[in-house]
A and B are shown apart, each in its own frame.
Chain A
Amino acid sequence: MSDQKRPDARITPSAKVKPGQEPSLSSASGKVSPEKNDPPKAKVPARPLRSGMSIVPSETIAGTALVFVIGIMAFLACLTLGAVSLVNSSADKWQSDISREVTIQIRPSDQVGMDMAIRDASRIALSFSGVSRVDVLDDEATVRLLEPWLGSGLQLNELPVPRILTVTLTADAKPDFDGLREQLESQVPGSSLDDHRAWVDRLTTMAWTMVAIGTAIFLLVMAATVTTVIFATRGAMAGNKDVVEVLHFVGADGNFIASQFQKHFLKLGLKGALCGAMGAIVLFLALGFWSSRSLATPEGDQISALFGTFSLSWTGYVGMILVMVFVSAMTAMTSSWTVRRQVNLLQDYRRAS
């Protein structure tokens, strides 16, 4: 049969009905009188016909509990993100500090005097692009450096103590370390170059480990959120079984029914995620403030050695806002997906049981 309506079957009475007359679809000249026990007719007040009520009543959804759970999950997710961001930026800072400096070690050699070796090594290092300066650890500084192990009054001439040259690199410079190492080894006997690669590698590994752990925690928190929302949606659907059935029988498709639930869950997700993310943002701001106030104290120094100044970069805060949006969207999508699955089961032409 065609989807088009029969032109003669329009049920839109145009004429005003009069009491006592019989109803007529074609002429619409009458109406069904109310039954005897009906309350007396009142004049219909001029007000909106719709109450603005959602098809799925919000009070049938366990909203407060869900907002609370989503809030906690969003808080944990933001906390994880913030911690990873802090460690990552600290590791970056350590890495960049280390990688902006390399050292040349010159061991005493019979072939050439130490002073000559230092001069040659400095000249070679400065000839490479990206090297801004070379500092020689003078005798006094070297004696001070070795004092804890060799005691005071050390005479450097009496012991074959290696000398250290600190080579400072310009920012973002990537000098040819292999070439420098090669020239030093060929022209300055007993010299070696340490570009701190082992430290940088360790820091990079640590930073990636932290990111991986953070990502795993974030994914676990998200999985817990999805599971919670699935159970909450199923509960809401069970509580609104009559509504869903009526919608189903009046011809609502899965998308329509899902959208009715999705609206509520998006609202709940937004509310919970906003609370959680704001909580985490406030916590990080407070920690940053406290750490900036405790810079000169021993505990402040210890914490700042590990986490820097505890101040999150703007990307960290943007990340937290994105987590909030993501948690809300995921809540809405999960509920929509759950409703669709349940409605598909309802729409399935199934055997009587």
Chain B
Amino acid sequence: MIRFENVGLRYGLGREVLSDLSFEVHPKSFQFLTGPSGAGKTSLLRLMLMSIRPTRGLVHVFGREASTIRPQQMPIVRRKIGVVFQDFRLLNHLTTFENVALPLQVRGKMEADYRQDVKDLLEWVGLGHRMHVLPPVLSGGEKQRAAIARALIDQPDILLADEPTGNVDPPLAARLLRLFIELHRSGTSVVIATHDLGLMDQFDARRLVLNSGRLQIYE
């Protein structure tokens, strides 16, 4: 699904923040991406999302080497990837419903066709009563769940989540983890970037550990 071959990354003329990464995210797999703060977890997720290009090495996404994907085709490939950003990135002038429905709207779907799906998903993540509310009114946990719902709404092939439990208390973090596990069971590959060891201990999954730009994999 996503394969890295000897990937290295440096920003500008700085030192290499990621070095010689070679690994694969398999279809229907679940993995935690972990490491200390500043280890390069977000950079690695950005490489997977093709938001940035590696300084060296190759990134294959859905069987295609990323640099061979034409800019016009990039949105089509990105639609298969769901992303939960660390800072949520909800649009503050749109309601929770509109934020979650955004991926469907950009695909040109009619509201009548997705209205019920979005409502059901919002109910499912516990935001059924907050669908008319603008993000600034939502609590951190609610924003997190809205961001997750937006990433899930079009059933991506792979979900990349950057610290998805960083703003919630442990019980809610556990519930969000179960949500990801359910998603994984339904066939979506999941990559969760986190430094929450307690969270990782709750589910036995593959761990990609970043340290000083190097990757160690614990199957």
Which positions in A face B, CB cutoff 8 Å?
Answer: 1, 3, 5-6, 8-14, 16-17, 22-26, 28, 31-38, 41-45, 47, 49-51, 53, 55, 57, 242-243, 245-254, 256, 344, 347-353
Contacts and interface: CB of A to CB of B under 8 A. Distances in A.
Contacts of A12: 116-117, 120-121
Given A37-B139, A38-B142, 6 more contacts: A9-B155, A34-B126, A35-B169, A49-B95, A50-B97, A247-B106
Interface stretch (B9-17, B30-38, B192-200, B206-214): B9-17
B129 A41 contact: yes
A1 B157 CA distance: 9
A352 B125 contact: no
B98 A13 contact: no
Contacts of B10: 352
A22 B116 contact: no
A23 B120 CA distance: 12
Nearest to B173: A35
B131 A11 contact: no
Nearest to A57: B93
Given A1-B63, A49-B97, A49-B119, A44 B131 contact: yes
Given A33-B175, A349-B71, A351-B53, A11 B186 contact: yes
Given A13-B121, A14-B120, A349 B107 contact: no
Contacts of A25: 182-183, 185-186
B153 interface: yes
Contacts of A36: 169
Contact of B52 (A22, A252, A352): A352
6 contacts: A6-B155, A33-B175, A35-B139, A51-B98, A249-B51, A250-B103
B124 A28 contact: yes
Given A23-B178, A251-B106, A251-B107, A349 B141 contact: no
A348 B71 contact: yes
* Nearest 6 A/B pairs, CB to CB: A251-B79, A252-B106, A32-B126, A25-B182, A253-B75, A352-B52
A248 B106 CA distance: 9
Nearest to B17: A352
Interface of B: 1, 9-12, 27, 43, 46, 49-53, 55, 62-63, 66-67, 69, 71-72, 74-76, 78-80, 83, 85, 89, 91, 93-95, 97-98, 101-103, 105-108, 111, 115-121, 123-129, 131-132, 139, 141-142, 145, 150, 152-155, 157, 168-169, 171-172, 175-176, 178-179, 182-183, 185-188
B89 to A, nearest CB: 5
Contact of A353 (B12, B111, B132): B12
Given A50-B98, A246-B91, A352-B55, A251 B76 contact: yes
Nearest to A50: B98
B53 A350 contact: yes
Given A12-B120, A32-B175, A35-B172, A252 B75 contact: yes
B83 A351 contact: no
Contacts of B63: 1
Nearest to A353: B12
Contacts of B185: 25-26
B98 A32 contact: no
Given A1-B157, A53-B94, A53-B98, A24 B182 contact: yes
Contacts of B103: 250-251
Contact of A250 (B102, B142, B157): B102
B172 to A, nearest CB: 5
A32 B179 contact: yes
